[in-house]
Amino acid sequence: MRILQLITDHRRRGAQVFAADLSEALASRSHDVAVAALYEETVSPLDCGQASVLPELGQRDRFVAPVLVMRLARTLAAFSPDVLQANGSDTLKFAVAARVLARTRTPIVYRNISLASRWLRGPLHRSVNRWLAHRPDHVVSVSHTSRDDFLLAYRIAANKVTVIPQATQVPATGSRKVGRDRIRAITGTSSGRVLVHIGNFSTEKNHEFLIRAFGEILSALPDATLLLIGDGPLRGEVSRRVQDAGLMDSVHFLGVRDDAREIAGGADALVLCSLVEGLPGVILEAAARGVPTVATDVGGVGEAIANQLTGVVTPPRDLAAFASAVLDLLNDEDRRAMMGRAARRRVDADYNLDRIASSYEALYDDLQHQLRMT
**At the topology level of CATH, where does 2-167+352-373 sit?**
Rossmann fold (3.40.50)
- Residue length of the chain: 374
The predicted pLDDT at position 255 comes to 95
- Give the residue extent of every domain in the chain: 2-167+352-373, 176-350
> Using N-to-C axis directions, what is the helix angle for 91-102 and 66-79, rounded to 10°?
60
> Cα(first)–Cα(last) distance of the chain, in Å?
19
Question: Shortest CA distance to 8 belongs to which of 53, 51, 60, 83?
Answer: 60
The predicted pLDDT at position 277 comes to 94
The predicted pLDDT at position 175 comes to 67
d(CA 297, CA 313): 6
Using alpha carbons, list the distances in angstroms from residue 360 to 90, 156, 163, 164, 179.
Answer: 21, 21, 11, 8, 31
Residue 109 near residue 32, CB atoms below 8 Å: no
**CATH code that applies to domain 176-350:** 3.40.50.2000
Residue 8 is classified by DSSP as: S
The predicted pLDDT at position 190 comes to 67
Residue 264 near residue 289, CB atoms below 8 Å: yes
d(CA 340, CA 258): 23
Q: In what order do the strands lie in the sheet with 52-53?
A: 52-53, 32-37, 2-7, 83-87, 108-112, 138-141, 161-163
**Averages of pLDDT over each 10 residues, the chain, 374 residues:** 97 94 97 97 90 92 85 96 95 96 96 89 86 96 96 94 95 79 84 93 96 97 96 96 95 94 95 95 96 97 97 96 98 97 96 96 96 86
Write down the pTM of the prediction: 0.92
Element (H, E) at 343: helix 333-350
Q: Do domains 2-167+352-373 and 176-350 have the same CATH topology?
A: yes
Residue 38 near residue 59, CB atoms below 8 Å: no
